[in-house]
Structure 1
Amino acid sequence: MQNMTTLIPLILMFVLFYFLLIRPQQKRQKSVRQMQSDLKKGDKIVTIGGLHGFIDSIDESKVVIKCGDGSRLTYDRNAIREVTESSKTAEV
């Protein structure tokens, strides 16, 4: 019985740790992977370095971003932080 009273707080701490830290992080990683796999030409994006631009072309691992001055920069697909406007919205 003494061992159970010592073990219960440890188990509760692990469960609390899982639901407050591990699970939300896994959800964020899943949503980022989904966003990066759904990228398409014409999407307005922001990179992890803060560069704003439009996707000019895309392949499996690289993205060519067209900047405001017309220059084209090549980035890894993983460097895209967020899509601020999808190409569907941009066309409308």
Structure 2
Amino acid sequence: MTEETENIVLRLLREIRETQRAHSERFDGIEQRMTTLERKMDDVNESVAMALGFSAHANVAYETTGQRIDRLTETVADLRARLEKLEEKA
């Protein structure tokens, strides 16, 4: 190889090395951003699961409360009917 050819090869190798270094820096930045994004998505998933859990719990509590109110209404109606019968006898 001639000296001129060696210089061209060395110059190209330096350019390749510089490009690889730049790419490595960009990949490191992208990796950090992806790690941050994964953490945020984990938080979102947890929040959604918690919200759905609270929603389901609220729905069950609402239905249970409604059933209890219905039973109390029936009990009050029965008590009124019994009271009316007692008042008629008196």
TM range (shorter): 0.3 to 0.5
**Larger RCO: 1 or 2 (CA < 8 Å, sep 6+):** 1
Larger radius of gyration: 2
Using structure 1 for the length normalisation, give the TM-score.
0.34
TM-score (norm 2): 0.35
Q: Quick check: which one's helix share is greater?
A: 2
